[in-house]
Amino acid sequence: MTGRPCAKPQATKVAACAAFVVLVLLSICIGAGEFSPRGLFTDPQALELFLVSRLPRTVAAVLTGAALSIAGLIMQALVRNRFVEPSTAGTAQSASLGILIMTLFFPGAALAVKTLAASILALLGTSLFLAMAHRLPPAQPYLVPLFGLVYGGVIGAVVTFVGWQTELLQYIDIWTNGEFSGVVRGRYELLWGTAVMLVVAWRVADRLTLLSLGRDVSIGLGLGYQRTLQLGLVIVSVISALTVTIVGIIPFVGLVVPNLVSRIMGDNLRGTIPWVALSGAALVLSCDILGRVIRYPYEIPVATVMGVVGAFLFLYLMFQRSAHA
């Protein structure tokens, strides 16, 4: 049954696009302040609310969701393992270590500079993870994600310990527990950097697919293996650093979205990247909307909602997998 690509991919694609549009509209309309789309043209205050808060928040959720799921997809291709993602395997933790170091030693640095430091640390942390993951026996597919969890946990613990010693724990919480309530005009624009990464990822999609076929096949087909690996690492690290700095860590997105899309459409990234991005955006948008309505007018951080929703999706994937195995 799952042997062939989805029998009606066209219908699935149309449904996905429609759901996405509805979610964007919902995200714009829902919030603590009064707002109706009609007011955009008549009420200057509504327009102001839209431009300062609702639009940035929606854009941020879309960019974050799309970018995190693509980062997960690429990381899975680099490591050749379906169960890793940047937020559990040390990339996001390394990024937050970068921000912590900047906060401690250069507290006055601009956000862009902090993000750059976070990117560099994320790149180092992920390269080390990749180097070690490639040494683990490939016949044991669950070893890599387990190792990633331990590795990410150790770096996360360092961040917490240093934060505790320096009384920055509350501050650390801002970037370890992702939420969009702080996103307003002027405070999220760096996130557009993830869009650049998405375009780069799409342009090199074929090479990333080849990477996932392994080193020997890639080299045999004339791919610059090391360079492609490095490019993939940069994309994953920059996306993680940008989202951690501006939104905070959101778990599970990079794990479940690529797996769900792969189940339906396969692993040819040239074709799947747009749909992974769209589904990731839709998932993060829905979790953010849920977080806004559950305790209206108060908010639950998107990372918390995603923790619950993502866990269920992950369980679904696992049970589906064993049913077909």
Partner 1 sequence: MIVIENVSLSHRDTPILRDIDLSLPRGGITALVGPNGAGKSSLFSLIARLQPLQKGRITVDDMPVDTTPSRTLAQRLAILRQDGAVANRLTVREIVGFGRFPHHRGRPAAEDLALVDAALSEFDLHSLADRFIDTLSGGQRQRAIVAMTFCQGTDYLLLDEPLNNLDMFHARQLMRCLRTIADERQRTAIIVLHDINQAASYADRIVALRDGRVIADGTPDDVLTEDHLESIFGYRMKVEHMNGKPFVLHHL
Residues in contact with partner 1 by the rule CB under 8 A: 2-5, 205-207, 209-210, 212-217, 219-224, 262-263, 266-268, 270
Nearer to partner 1, 134 or 263 (CB): 263
User: 1 or 297: whose CB is closer to partner 1?
Assistant: 1
In the bound state with partner 1, the residue whose beta carbon lies nearer, of 154 and 219, is 219
Place of tokens 């690529």: 258
User: What element of type H or E holds 259?
Assistant: helix 253-265
CB of 314 to partner 1, least distance (A): 18
Give the shortest CB-224-to-partner 1 separation in angstroms. 6
Q: How far is the CB of 226 from partner 1 (least distance, A)?
A: 10
- Distance of closest approach, residue 90 Cβ to partner 1, in angstroms: 24
Cβ proximity to partner 1: between 182 and 220 the closer is 220
Q: Pick between residue 92 and residue 208 the one whose CB is nearest to partner 1.
A: 208
Q: How far is the CB of 128 from partner 1 (least distance, A)?
A: 23
Phi and psi at residue 6, to the nearest 5° = -40, 135
In Å, how far from its chain's centre is CA 127? 18
Nearer to partner 1, 229 or 241 (CB): 229
Q: How far is the CB of 45 from partner 1 (least distance, A)?
A: 50
Q: Please answer whether residues 27 and 61 qualify as being in contact, where contact means their C-beta atoms are separated by less than 8 angstroms.
A: yes
Is there a contact between 35 and 49 (Cβ–Cβ < 8 Å)?
Answer: yes
Q: Measured from the CB of residue 214, what is the shortest distance to partner 1 in angstroms? A: 8
In 10 A of CB 188, how many CB atoms? Answer: 19
Q: Is 125 left (phi over 0), alpha (psi -120 to 50) or beta?
A: alpha
Cα–Cα nearest to 31, from 59, 50, 45: 50
d(CA 22, CA 100): 38
Which residues, in sequence order, are CB contacts of 121 under 8 Å at separation 6+?
A: 94, 95, 97, 98, 101, 241
CA-CA distance, 18 to 4, in Å (whole number)?
25
The smaller minimum CB distance to partner 1, of residues 96 and 259, is found at 259
Please check whether residue 98 is in contact with residue 121, taking contact to mean a CB–CB distance below 8 angstroms.
yes
Main-chain dihedrals φ then ψ at residue 21, nearest 5 degrees? -60, -45
